[in-house]
Amino acid sequence: MNIRITGTGSYIPDVVEKNENFHQHEFLNTDGSTINHPNEVIVDKFKAITGIAERRYAKDHLSSSDLAFFAAEKAIEDANIDREELDYIIMAHNFGDVKSNAIQSDMLPCLASRVKHSLRIKNPKCVAYDILFGCPGWIEGVIQAQAFIKAGMAKKCLVIGSETLSRVVDKHDRDSMIYSDGAGATVVEASDEEGGILAHETASYTYDEAYYLYFGNSNNQELCRDTRYIKMHGRKIYEFALNNVPAAMKTCLENSGYDITDVKKILIHQANEKMDEAIIKRFYRLYNTPEPEGVMPMSITKLGNSSVATVPTLFDLIRKNKLGDHSLNKGDVIIFASVGAGMHINAIVYKY
């Protein structure tokens, strides 16, 4: 028995927020002091580091669970399954449903239950639950789905990653330009076809690293000190990722039984273009092998960082020939990899 991703779907919001839209923002240092550079310089430097030219925001009336539902519908249709046969709905997110211009997260009921409700699934044996695992949440959800299927507890699982990060950012923080909204979904099921999930690797580094990403106050000292926003220690995350992600990917690949020369694509969490490029370079350096051209598809330039949604969205776009010249062929060996809040790292080696 092999365990394969048989259907994918994604939802990319309609609202395009371009870099020039930030020229009028009041960016401040963490102590509230004025940054001694014009916004045009700040934005241009941001683009050079992250590769982000624009990002997508959800319309005001839509929530994270709505985006997840839209992506889930597409994945179920793509897999051509009866939704009533789903055994699990695993929903990865970080902040729940946050209404536009609100300051409170809503996770009651859990978002997976909301998606199941929207899908109008009647089967009570379809278990719906959320997973909070930072940006690697969707990959971890796929790993859990595989475990359920291998244990005989499931045959078909729906794994979703969805987020509306635009609603938890501090608009006075330059890092706010990184984040975006979106959703990606996949159907994971047992299959007689060759390939599927070959190996996986997960690690949680918490001794010193747990709070590299955290909820903190606005850089604007005049705003309510009880309202929190997503914050990060960018340099520490960059160094952590470079020191740990390539090694985790290498361990995963070795456990799969395949060689570095077999890898056709690496679908890595779209966190920061320069960081992702450095991770891939270091990964190939571990094998003393040059990095193949086009091995790392990127969507961050147009879509920004939508956390748990980046990898499944990237996979869906490539499968459906919507990402430039990138494509996948039967038998291709690919790697999914992510790093994020916690600090968590994971990877999957997958034969398409």
DSSP helix/strand/coil, 132: strand
Q: 18 forms bridges with which residues in the sheet?
A: 54
How far does the chain reach from its first CA to its final CA, in angstroms?
15
Residue-level pLDDT at 1: 84
pLDDT at residue 226 is higher than 90 = no
Tokens standing for residue 4: 């394969």
Segment 85-110 shows an average pLDDT of 94
Query: 335 with 342: CB under 8 angstroms?
Result: no
Contacts of 215 (CB under 8 A, 6+ apart): 228, 229, 230, 231
Q: Above 90 in pLDDT, residue 24?
A: no
What pLDDT was estimated at residue 120? 98
Q: What is the pLDDT of residue 38?
A: 87
Q: What is the mean pLDDT of residues 17-40?
A: 88
List the domains of the chain with CATH numbers: 2-193 (3.40.47.10), 197-351 (3.40.47.10)
Give this prediction's pTM: 0.95
Strands 196-204 and 333-340: unpaired
Q: Are 40 and 21 in contact (CB under 8 A)?
A: no
Q: Distance between CA atoms of 120 and 289, rounded to whole angstroms?
A: 50
Residue 32 pLDDT level (bands cut at 50, 70, 90): confident
Angle, vertex CA 162, rays to CA 160 and CA 165, nearest 5: 165
Q: What is the pLDDT of residue 160?
A: 98
pLDDT reading at 3 higher than 90: yes
Task: Kindly give the pairing relationship between strand 156-164 and strand 88-93.
Answer: parallel
- Give the per-residue pLDDT at 31: 86
- Chain segment 140-169, per-residue pLDDT in tens: 999 999 999 999 999 999 999 999 999 999
Instruction: Tell me: cis bond preceding 107? Omega within 30 of 0 counts.
Output: no
Question: Are 136 and 339 spatial neighbours (Cβ–Cβ below 8 Å)?
Answer: yes
Whose CA is closest to 81, among 110, 43, 48, 121? 121
Whole-number pLDDT of residue 238: 94
Res 237: pLDDT = 95
pLDDT tens-digit readout, 292-326: 999 999 999 999 999 999 999 999 999 999 998 99
Q: At what angle are helices 137-150 and 310-319 packed, to 10 degrees?
A: 80
- What is the residue-averaged pLDDT of the chain? 95
**How far apart, in whole angstroms, are the C-alpha atoms of residue 254 and residue 258?**
7
Nearest-10 Cα torsion for 25, 27, 32, 36: -120
Respond yes or no on whether the N-terminal peptide bond of residue 109 is cis (omega within 30° of 0). Answer: yes
- Per-residue pLDDT, averaged over 1-9, amounts to 96
Beta bridge partners of residue 214, listed in sequence order:
231
Q: Pick the range with the lowest mean pLDDT from 26-40, 310-324, 326-340.
A: 26-40
Residue 186 tokens, joined: 């996949």
Nearest to 229, CA basis, from 180, 294, 166? 166
- Total number of residues shown for the chain: 352
